[in-house]
Structure 1
Amino acid sequence: MKDKDELLTAKAMTLSSARRQFMFNKASGASAFLTDAPILWQNALINFLYIMYFAVEKKTFLWYNTCIYVIKDRESLVFSDIFFLYVFLPLFLICYFAARNTKLKNAVLIVFSLFFYAWGEPVWVGLLIFSSVFDFLNGRFIDKHKDEKIAVLGVIVSCAVNLSILGVFKYSGMIVDGINTLLSLSLPVPDFHLPIGISFYTFQSITYVVDVYRKKARAQKNYFGYLLYLSMFFQLVAGPIVRYNTVAREIENRSVKIHEFSDGITRLIFGLGKKVLIANSMGQLATQFLTFDTAPTSVLAAWSGVILYSLQIYYDFSGYSDMAIGLGLMCGFHFPENFEHPYISASATDFWRRWHISLGTFFRDYMYIPLGGNRKHQLLNIAIVWFCTGLWHGASWNFIMWGLYFGVLLVIEKTFLLKVLEKVPKIIGHIYLLIAVIFGWMIFYFTDTSKMGACFGAMFGKNGLAATDLLTESQLKGSLWLIIAAIIICMPVYKGISAFGEKLAKKSAASFTLVSAVKMLFLAFILFASTVSLVGDTYNPFLYFRF
């Protein structure tokens, strides 16, 4: 019977053989780098796995444990998952770059996307396929009929069907429960398991048919081209909400440039670090401070919990968006930015130009402007849009309260507050915005209004609550440097460092080599630390997954 060290060495030797096969190529030097970037990335992944066998505790076999975990407790795939990172993604990249033309690449992407979607919930693939067939045919119908009255009928039917499907799965329980409460009935409350990504791909379907009607996009003639647009696993689960005309040309013909592939890897790893190293850490602390099954421990605990949750939700969602954009770049797609450092804003209006940009622009272009926009009933239009924005996030009254809360803030700013903020020092606007957002995320966090009230009271020392407590102080001190780093990274620091690095790299060949080496080491550290964290920690939620 071989001991663990011998088994470990044998496994590593197997990987080493695979590694040597990927390294073999006739090209060499700069030529190899320019022509074989995908192979180099595959090689890098396998080299990393080779190292990980020795870096992680000897008793842990990464792939073995991953496969056992997946078989025993199969859940929907997310990017911050060991199985996705070290099994699904390498296999996908190998198959994708082995495909010789765009049609074959599209076929590979569709197969892997449907597999990705079906992994945790196979039954909902049928719903995704139905939605794609229905809206593909609707797009053809709208494009074919030049009579506007007939074409608009196609838009109405498409929107009605898509929103009805979303309503049944997402809101039927809330509606029936409300009817029971209002009329003192006891109707059975539906409890559908929400299909993953339905809120995102429903909105993408709507943008497609509306844009075809508005002549802003040409109807897709090939069903599989439309299926690819709707099912692409990069942004299927949590956005960004990508409009069809953004990727229409790339669906038909695209190429992967070496610098974009490199940027994609950087974006993917950086997003992974934001999600795993920062968001998860902030979330664990926030959960401890915001658990109000017993009385809140102190004012400090309440404020710390809400602030840490504000950091968690930003890094959680923006990290996932970064990974989606990075994966797209690696395969030749260019998705829109979804976050632009929202916490540096000095007003709620500016904040919502920077936070979940693709959702904000969807509601602006497909609801706010058609309702009249700034031309008529502006304040009413804002209220309607923000009611729907809150409702989009979930079938719970706290999300509606959250949407209306920001709707009221935006109405106040439109009415007079923006003019006031323009006249005062910008720091006052920043403070106002941060306080407003913190209270907004408190509403967003608690589905139980009694706990929401308890948190609000605790933040202001209700019933003589102590200002601080030793346990909270100890927990904050233990994570102080990470919290400080999270606050700093919220600001455009990385862009400044990146710009400085690019400027330095242009000075000489030695400078270029130095900057490249530092960047690679930094990314390797993030990937390594994120992997170790995922292997050793069971806390890995994704907040926007439920929306």
Structure 2
Amino acid sequence: MVFSSIIFLFYFLPVFLVVYTLAPERWKNAVILTFSVFFYAWGAPVFVFVLLASTIIDFYLVRSLHRAATNRGRKVRLLLSLSLNLGLLAYFKYANFFVENLNAALLSAGVDAVGWTAVALPIGISFYTFQTLTYSIDVYRRQLEPLDRLADYLLFIMSFPQMIAGPIVRFREVAAQLRERQSTYEDKLLGFHRFCLGLAKKVFIANVLGAKADEIYALDFTTLDAPTAWLGAVAYAGQIYFDFAGYSDMAIGLGRMMGFRFPENFNSPYVATSISDFWRRWHITLGRWMRDYLYIPLGGNRVGSRFRLYFNLWVVFLLSGLWHGASWNFVIWGAFHGFFLVLDRLFLLRWLGKVGRLPAVIFTCFVVIIGWVFFRLETLGEATEYLSAMFRWDFALPVASPKLWLTLAVSLLASWGVLSAPGRWVEARLYPTAVSSTGTAVVYLTLGLLVYLLSAAVITSQGFNPFIYFRF
């Protein structure tokens, strides 16, 4: 079940909101948890039991960690918690990748391959793992007290708005809200409005760009002309932003309706002036997680040598790429971004600062779009062929049809309108932090309902409705 599905929009969400609103205050967390388990079980009916069991074990492990009398005891329990959660991630997400590469090496050496039954990848396993790690590590660091009730911890991990594809919510950000929070009528209105804006990004921009990107990426790369190849790459860059940012908006809006304040996840990444700036704007919660739980423990900026600093940056982004998927192309994508982050430290930031904002933005978008080719395709060979097509300046006539070019031109113009300075000014007005009057409330509610119904009509008619980050 996805947020932009008819089942969610007309069955799950309305029923949930009615039950949640009518439930007494002391039962509201239980309502969210019940619906969250059902929501996850809809897409992963078997794995939900593994998830529940591991979450329960982890809750008591961390409680034991907090109560341990010695540092050694605390470290042992932390190690057990980390091993449990990272072990699940390693098995379900990376076991197939490891066995495939092992068998390839064995076969090249003339040795029989290892027998293996492929493991199904549970949806949202990467996001689940990172949230469990924040809990055990934050408690170990004594930054917060552990939760008293198992139900509250299950709610933190399994809350349906953000469990499947983020934002990555750290324990310290919602610990107080899990225990006590308020949800006013203003929260419900603004949350619904935010949800509908995210739904519009998904349905009216991401899906349109995604369908056309898929059409181009399905062509024969060896005969693909450069303009069409660039069009496909740019279309995918737009799709992945509006797809993921739209989902984040919907998650944040759903949380707001329940009284939660989830962290923002995007800040106009395609107006970034460097790769460093891009990663301050793109998937913000992942970047902060990597900084606080990986980069800083490795030494951060306080290491004794520049080589160690650059090595740490590169390692963090290699692992970031691997976190996104069990494929060498994801590793290459992470290494690619890590390489440009190192170049930023060496000289690029100074150079980009001198050439002016617009050239810096164009250069950054160029680098990011090249990186998305590795992210989009499954093998290095495919990525190499596609990149060759992008730079094959043979002046051939475009393969893409006029209708495709027209559709993409309109969609990309709409995308630019949102990401440009005027577009972002309008967008800021569409994301209010408060309702100033009854008339304003009526306008927001009317706009939200209109987008809700139009989006449902489009979803019903077009049938193309993937969420890219669900596979992570």
Rounded Cα–Cα distance in structure 2 between residues aligned with 1:491 and 1:151:
50
Q: Residue type matched to 1:417 in 2? A: L
Rounded Cα–Cα distance in structure 2 between residues aligned with 1:83 and 1:499:
30
Q: Does 1:217 align with 2:144?
A: yes
TM-score for both structures, normalised by structure 1: 0.81
Quote how far apart the aligned CAs of 1:499 are.
5.8
Q: Does 1:480 align with 2:404?
A: no
Distance 1:228 1:447, change over 3 A: same
Distance 1:500 1:263, change over 3 A: closer
Q: Residue type matched to 1:542 in 2? A: F
Of 168, 172, 176, which residue of structure 2 is paired with 1:241?
168
Quote how far apart the aligned CAs of 1:175 are.
0.6
Rounded Cα–Cα distance in structure 1 between residues aligned with 2:80 and 2:429:
52
Quote how far apart the aligned CAs of 1:147 are.
1.9
Q: Does 1:316 align with 2:243?
A: yes
Quote how far apart the aligned CAs of 1:454 are.
1.8
Q: Does 1:529 align with 2:461?
A: no
Gap runs ≥5 in structure 1: 1-76
Of 336, 348, 355, which residue of structure 1 is paired with 2:275?
348
Rounded Cα–Cα distance in structure 2 between residues aligned with 1:301 and 1:474:
13
Q: Residue type matched to 1:172 in 2? A: A
Of 190, 206, 224, which residue of structure 2 is paired with 1:263?
190
Rounded Cα–Cα distance in structure 2 between residues aligned with 1:198 and 1:346:
32
Quote how far apart the aligned CAs of 1:497 are.
2.9
Q: Residue type matched to 1:86 in 2? A: F
Quote how far apart the aligned CAs of 1:529 are.
2.1
Of 301, 306, 312, which residue of structure 1 is paired with 2:233?
306
Match of 1:234, SS state, is coil
Rounded Cα–Cα distance in structure 1 between residues aligned with 2:45 and 2:222:
42
Quote how far apart the aligned CAs of 1:190 are.
3.7
Deviates more, 1:378-387 or 1:140-149: 140-149
Deviates more, 1:138-147 or 1:290-299: 290-299
Q: How many residues align?
A: 462
Indicate conservation of the 8 Å contact 2:418/2:424, yes or no: no
Match of 1:233, SS state, is coil
Distance 1:143 1:516, change over 3 A: closer
TM-score for both structures, normalised by structure 2: 0.93
Q: Residue type matched to 2:15 in 1? A: L
**Could you list the per-position Cα deviations for residues 278-327 of structure 1 after superposition, in whole angstroms to 9, with x for gaps in the alignment?**
10100001111112346444211100000000000001111001100000
Rounded Cα–Cα distance in structure 2 between residues aligned with 1:117 and 1:452:
33
Distance 1:279 1:365, change over 3 A: same
Indicate conservation of the 8 Å contact 1:301/1:472, yes or no: no
Mapping for residues 111-510 of structure 1, pairs under 5 Å:
111-184=34-107, 185-293=112-220, 295-376=222-303, 377-461=308-392, 464=394, 466=396, 468-469=398-399, 471-491=400-420, 493=422, 496-497=425-426
Q: Does 1:98 align with 2:38?
A: no
Distance 1:436 1:495, change over 3 A: closer
Quote how far apart the aligned CAs of 1:230 are.
0.7
**Could you list the per-position Cα deviations for residues 350-383 of structure 1 after superposition, in whole angstroms to 9, with x for gaps in the alignment?**
1001111111111111111001111112111111
How many percent of aligned residue pairs carry the same amino acid? 39
Quote how far apart the aligned CAs of 1:449 are.
2.3
Distance 1:483 1:518, change over 3 A: farther
Rounded Cα–Cα distance in structure 2 between residues aligned with 1:452 and 1:128:
35
Aligned to 2:3: 79
Quote how far apart the aligned CAs of 1:439 are.
0.1
Rounded Cα–Cα distance in structure 1 between residues aligned with 2:461 and 2:233:
26
Q: Residue type matched to 1:351 in 2? A: F
Q: Does 1:542 align with 2:467?
A: yes
Q: Residue type matched to 1:415 in 2? A: L
Q: Residue type matched to 1:432 in 2? A: F
Aligned to 1:70: none
Rounded Cα–Cα distance in structure 1 between residues aligned with 2:408 and 2:342:
38
Rounded Cα–Cα distance in structure 1 between residues aligned with 2:445 and 2:407:
29
Deviates more, 1:162-171 or 1:449-458: 449-458
Quote how far apart the aligned CAs of 1:189 are.
3.6
Match of 2:301, SS state, is coil
Rounded Cα–Cα distance in structure 2 between residues aligned with 1:163 and 1:361:
19
Q: Residue type matched to 2:415 in 1? A: A
Match of 1:371, SS state, is coil
Deviates more, 1:427-436 or 1:478-487: 478-487
Rounded Cα–Cα distance in structure 2 between residues aligned with 1:223 and 1:93:
24
Indicate conservation of the 8 Å contact 1:296/1:302, yes or no: no
Indicate conservation of the 8 Å contact 1:177/1:189, yes or no: no
Indicate conservation of the 8 Å contact 1:353/1:360, yes or no: yes
Rounded Cα–Cα distance in structure 1 between residues aligned with 2:460 and 2:27:
34
Rounded Cα–Cα distance in structure 2 between residues aligned with 1:133 and 1:122:
18
